[in-house]
Amino acid sequence: MNIKKLMHLFYFMVLTIASASIIGCEKDEEIKQAEGRPFFPRIFKEASLFPESPDSIRVLDLNASYTFSGLGYSPADRVKIAWKVNGAEVSNDTSYTFVGAEPGEFRVTLEASYEGDTTRRYRDFFVLPAADATYQPKPANRVVLSYLSENTGHRGIADIDYDKVSHVAYKLATVSASGGVSYAAGDQFRRIDHLVGKAHLNGVPVLLGISGTLSADGWAVNNNYNFGNAIVNPTTRAALILSIKNYITLRKLDGVDVMMTDVSGAAENVTNNMVAVGTFLNDLRSALGAQSIITATVTADYTHTRYPANSLAAADWLNVHAFEDGLHVGPDKPLGQPSSLDYLIASADIWKAKYAVSKLVIGVSTLGIRYNTLLPNGNNATWTSYDYIPYKDILYNVPTAFDKEYAAISQGVYFNGVPLVVQKAQYLKQNNYLGAYLWYADGDMPGHNQITKATGEHSLTAAIYDNIN
């Protein structure tokens, strides 16, 4: 026998022994159980059926099914199996098929029990309303808009407190350099279907957020003119509007928010883009009709002067980016609160001079500025020495920070806590503004597998809703 054949025989023997060892391990556990040795019941081959991730909620069409099969149990002949749907036992078989017979949220739990010990696995489902279902938007005195980032997964969609919002927007559409638009963030794992279905069951309209490439705080990536270039050109503008219309119809969305905070760089580009926004909104209104909600997110920096008078009239309301004053970022800038009450008031005043307060929804941020490297004088070091941390992560690190504006994380974090957000909401109510929006709202939700949660009296969304209505 030559060397090559000997090597093949050796590898075959190794694989055979390894396979036998795996099977033997499971068999050994059953033997140990049979001998009365302490052993906790186990479930095998469950990872793909019971995944743990922010997108582990499975979206099903009405009357569609999902089968849990191929599972193993130890001790195989003695473990008691129970399948439960929302806590009610439905089967004792080794496998189970869940059928989404009605719309809503369902948790399927598998329990394997032996001598008083129980191992549990669960999978969450959202069953969509019928394809032809309609809904009635709930009445709202003022707009409280929960604005989700494109990174929001199924857990974030499920965690929205729909009782504390009037509208939800999802920043999932991104315009490319060619003028095309990607909806991948919402289409992935059927996230947008989940959001629309869940929101509509709660009487909440959903808007499609569309922009060019944005940074985390909602501002443009410098010198990125993708959106602006697309709406300046009549041909690409028409194609973009048709794409938006088709997507809104397909996904049963209630309208669109045009995020024109993605303007920066050369003055000529900014001016051309600002002039084109009005044309884009007018054309969008003609395409979508009066029944659709159309809003525009606008800035309070120097670019606001570039909009022609009354050019945004086609929008139902304007979302004013009234946070991140720009005074505390950049080389040698002093540390401090970037989103103060004074800055919100100043930003609102800019747009109050152009449009009625009944058409203005003012922004509040969940993002804190985290300084990581300082100069010897105590100021921020460079353009890359700071970043942004969501409110929920601030509370995870410092659970008592909900009523503050500063947390001792890294070299310091400045953010909006509950008292400051309450002040902002009360100011907007007292001065008859249409409402407020929270960017981005997934920063104000329970973190996946986190202990400290931005909910209840710690929630910024609830602080806005309870004090603006």
For the chain, domain boundaries: 42-127, 143-468
β-bridge partners, 142:
none
In tens, the pLDDT along 425-459 reads 999 999 999 999 999 999 998 754 455 566 778 99
The CATH code of domain 42-127 reads 2.60.40.10
Q: What is the model's pLDDT at position 302?
A: 79
Contact 405, 414 (CB under 8 A): yes
CA 85, 90, 95, 98: dihedral to nearest 10 degrees? -50
Specify the higher pLDDT residue, 28 or 197.
197
DSSP state of 50: S
Question: Are 297 and 254 within 8 A, CB to CB?
Answer: no
Give the tens place of pLDDT for each residue, 291-326. Answer: 999 999 998 887 788 888 899 999 999 999 999 998
Residue 183: closest CA among 174, 195, 170: 174
Query: Comparing 64 with 273, which gets the higher pLDDT?
Result: 64
Tokens of 121: 């696995």
Cα 386 from Cα 368, distance rounded (Å): 10
Residue 14: which pLDDT band, with cuts at 50, 70 and 90?
very low
Environment class of 113 (CB within 10 Å of its CB; exposed 0-12, middle 13-18, buried 19+): middle
Across the range 109-138, mean pLDDT stands at 96
Same fold, 42-127 and 143-468: no
Q: When comparing pLDDT for 259 and 416, which is higher?
A: 416
* C-alpha distances out from residue 417 to 100, 160, 361, 437, Å: 40, 19, 20, 15
367-371 vs 360-365, strand pairing mode: unpaired
Alpha-carbon distance of 189 to 318, in angstroms, equals: 31
Reported confidence tier of residue 264, pLDDT bands at 50, 70, 90: low
DSSP secondary structure code for residue 257 in this structure? E
Contact assessment for residue 260 and residue 296, using Cβ atoms and an 8 Å cutoff:
yes
pLDDT for 378 beyond 80? yes
pLDDT at 33 over 80: no
* CA 222 – CA 213 distance, rounded (Å): 9
- In angstroms, the CA 29 to CA 467 distance is 59
Query: Among 330, 450, 435, which Cα is nearest to 395's?
Result: 450
What contacts 233, CB < 8 A, 6 or more positions away? 179
pLDDT top residue among 32 and 227: 227
pLDDT category of residue 273 using cuts at 50, 70 and 90:
confident
Judged against a pLDDT cut of 50, whether residue 11 lies above it is answered with no
pTM: 0.88
- Report the relative pairing of strands 255-259 and 317-321 from DSSP bridges: unpaired
What value does the mean pLDDT of the chain take? 88
Q: What are phi and psi of 361, to 5 degrees?
A: -115, 120
- Angle (CA) 325-326-331 rounded to 5° is 155
CA distance 467 to 469: 6
Rounded distance between C-alpha atoms, residue 334 and residue 340, angstroms: 15
Q: Which of 14-28, 89-103, 198-212, 315-329 is the least confident region?
A: 14-28
CA–CA separation, 340 and 338 (whole Å) = 6
> Whose CA is closest to 249, among 291, 194, 283, 210?
291
Contact criterion met (CB below 8 Å) for 191 and 185: yes
Whether residue 45 contacts residue 71, with contact meaning beta carbons closer than 8 Å, is answered with yes
> In this structure, is the dihedral angle defined by the CA atoms of residues 353, 355, 360 and 365, taken in order, positive or negative?
negative
What confidence category does residue 21 fall into, taking pLDDT thresholds of 50, 70 and 90?
Answer: very low
* Residues of the chain above pLDDT 70, percent: 86
Q: Tell which residue, 165, 164, 166, 171, has the closest CA to residue 148.
A: 171
1-10, 28-37, 148-157, 196-205: least confident range: 1-10
- Within 13 Å and on the Cβ side, how many CA atoms surround 345? 10
Q: Where are the beta strands (DSSP E) in 188-280?
A: 206-211, 255-259
pLDDT tens, residue by residue, 169-191: 999 999 987 889 999 999 999 99
- Lowest-pLDDT range, 14-28, 178-192, 231-245, 263-277? 14-28
Environment class of 422 (CB within 10 Å of its CB; exposed 0-12, middle 13-18, buried 19+): middle
**CATH T-level assignment (fold) for domain 143-468:** TIM Barrel (3.20.20)
Burial letters 240-270, b for 16+ CB under 10 A, else e: bbebbbebbeebbbbbbbbbbbbbbeeeebb
Percent residues over pLDDT 90 in the chain: 72
Q: What are phi and psi of 151, to 5 degrees?
A: -90, 0
Backbone angles phi, psi at 195, to 5 degrees: -60, -50
